[in-house]
Amino acid sequence: MHSRIRKNIALMGLLLAIALILSYVESLVGLDLLVPGVKLGLSNLSVLMTIVFIGIPEAFVICVLKVVLAGSMFGNMSMMIYGLCGSLLSFGVMAILVRIGGYHLPVISATGGVFHNMGQMLVALFVTKALNTEFILFYIPVLIISGFIAGLITGIIANLITPALKKAVNKGDSTS
Amino acid sequence: MAKYKKDIILTALILLSFLAFWLIRSNGSKADPKSVNIYVDGVLLRAVDLSVDDEFRIESKHGYNDITVKDGKIAVTGSDCDGKDCVKTGYISGNNGYIACLPHGLLISPKGDDSDSKGGVDAFAY
Ligand SMILES: [Zn+2]
């Protein structure tokens, strides 16, 4: 029992580190989607893996830590607020899909990606009075398709590393 | 195939909503390529004629944005905002997009976007 918990914590640390690296890369490459501050959310990979390997509450922890740490290390306050809303909405939707069951990782992740972008657009609507109807209509299709594709890629990557990670985790189980 | 039934339905829903919004968007915009409106906090600050080269500064309680108009295009070329996303957007003309500086509540948008957002209402009404 204790070794299980210890292993989960180690795994969460690893996944959080991966999330931070991906966030850093994203901030460097400047994959902003025309809408200022909207990021693709490649670091969702870690949240996805945590849902699969450990559980939904733990994934929530990773999700919040990832945004707060990445925001304070190589971002700014507004990036943190946008990221938090996008990530939480995306996390919520992915968690619901996992609970319902029958969905596969790439599609779960792609749906998460769409809501990640929508969440950021929602914050932009609430924190500023800048955006008009036309702007939103102009960007919604862009946000949907880019979120979908980014999420799909993330999900496919998650699918590819899942067997290896599962093997590593199970191996540890039998020896301890 | 049955194994992926839920996946396919969800994917189809997302792609359909993308298509619907895409159609609304391409129906809606008949903007004048030669002028844009500048809004701060949703209030129309000035209309800019892009055929006249110009440089000016927009100042508000949030901070400043330096605007450059050149060769029928407009850009935010300097700002004291977080992230400088408005500057990174670069040059746009009157019918190919928007520049937003969210920290400063600033939006540069194609003319034809009335502040009463008449175009948007029409797009929904049809
Ligand atoms: Zn700005």
Average per-residue pLDDT in chain B? Answer: 83
Residue found by looking up tokens 């870690």 in the block: A46
Contact: B119, A30; criterion CB under 8 Å: no
What is A27-74 written as a DSSP string?
HHHT---SSTT----TTHHHHHHHHHHT-HHHHHHHHHHHHHHHHHHH
Query: If you ran DSSP here, which 8-state letter would residue B80 be given?
Result: -
Number of structural domains found in chain A:
1
Q: Are B90 and B78 in contact (CB under 8 A)?
A: no
Q: Tell me which residue of A9, A67, A79 sits closest to A43, measured CA to CA.
A: A67
* Bridge partners of residue B56, in order along the sequence: B67
More confident residue, B96 or A24: A24
Q: Cα B98 vs. chain centroid, distance in angstroms? A: 3
- Same domain (yes/no): B47, B103: yes
Task: Determine, yes or no, domain membership for B126.
Answer: no
Q: Do B41 and A128 touch (CB under 8 A)?
A: yes
- C-alpha A47 – ligand 1 centre gap (Å): 30
Same-domain status, B22 and B62: no
The total number of structural domains that make up chain B = 2
- Report ipTM for this prediction: 0.83
Cβ distance B41 to A129 less than 8 Å, yes or no, reads yes
Residues B64, B10, single domain; the answer is no
* Site of tokens 């799909």: A152
Q: Are residues B10 and B65 in the same domain?
A: no
pLDDT in tens, chain A (176 residues): 678 888 888 889 988 998 888 888 877 765 555 555 456 677 888 998 898 889 999 999 999 999 899 888 877 777 788 888 888 999 999 999 999 999 999 999 999 999 998 988 888 888 777 787 788 888 889 889 888 988 998 899 888 988 888 887 777 665 54
Would you say residue B13 has pLDDT above 80? Answer: yes
Q: Which of B8, B85, B109 would you mutate first to test chain A, the one with the most A CBs within 10 A?
A: B85
Is there a domain that residue B116 lies in?
Answer: no
**With an 8 Å Cβ cutoff, are A130 and B40 in contact?**
yes
Q: Do residues B22 and B66 both lie within one domain?
A: no
Residues of A in contact with B82 (CB under 8 A): 76-79
In a domain, B122, yes or no: no
pLDDT > 70 fraction of chain B, expressed in percent and rounded = 84
**Residues B19, B53 share a domain:** no
Do residue B49 and residue B10 come from a single domain? Answer: no
pLDDT digits (tens, 9 = 90+) for B73-90: 999 999 998 878 889 888
Q: Which domain holds residue A104?
A: 2-175
Q: B123 lies in a domain?
A: no
Q: Let me know whether B46 and B106 are in one domain.
A: yes
Distance CA A67, CA A119 (A): 14
Structure-model confidence comparison of residues B14 and B109, the more confident one: B14
Query: Which residues does B contribute to its contact with A (CB < 8 Å)?
Result: 4-7, 10-11, 14-15, 17-18, 21-22, 24-25, 28-29, 39-42, 82-83, 85-86, 88-89, 97-98, 100-103, 105-107, 109-110, 113, 115, 117, 119-121, 123
- How far is it, in rounded angstroms, from Cα A1 to Cα A32? 43
Q: Are B78 and B18 contained in the same domain? A: no
Q: What pLDDT, on the 0 to 100 scale, is given for residue B55?
A: 95
pLDDT at A63: 92
pLDDT of A89: 93
Taking the centre of ligand 1 as the mean of its atom positions, its distance from the CA of residue A20, in whole angstroms, is 25
Across the interface, whether the CB atoms of B15 and A78 are under 8 A apart is answered no
CATH number at B44 reads 2.60.320.10
**Cβ contact, residue pair B102, A127, below 8 Å:** yes
Residue B80 lies in a domain: yes
Structure tokens at B40: 């701060």
In a domain, B67, yes or no: yes
Are residues B14 and B52 both part of a single domain?
no
The pair of three-digit structure tokens given for residue B97, joined into one six-digit string: 């997009």
Residues in chain A within 8 Å Cβ distance of B7: 103-104, 106-107
Residues B44 and B90 in one domain: yes
pLDDT at B125 over 50: no
pLDDT the model gives residue B114? 47
CATH no. for residue A86? 1.10.1760.20
Strand-pair category, B32-40 with B106-111: antiparallel
What pTM was estimated for this model as a whole? 0.81
Q: Tokens 């977080």 correspond to what residue?
A: B82
Q: Which of A70-84, B37-51, B90-104 has the lowest mean pLDDT?
A: A70-84
Of A13, A29, A1, which Cα lies nearest the Cα of A150? Answer: A29
What mean pLDDT do residues B95-104 have? Answer: 84
Predicted pLDDT at A175: 52
Domain with B97, as residue range(s), is: 35-110
Specify the pLDDT at position B121. Answer: 38
In a domain, B84, yes or no: yes
Q: How confident is the model at residue B123, as a pLDDT?
A: 38
- Enter the tokens of residue A51: 């849902």
Q: On the CB side of A49, how many CA atoms lie within 13 Å of its CA? A: 29
pLDDT of B28 reads 60
Distance CA B101, CA A128 (A): 10
State whether B101 and B41 are in the same domain.
Answer: yes
Out of B88, B89, B113, closest to residue A132 by CB: B113
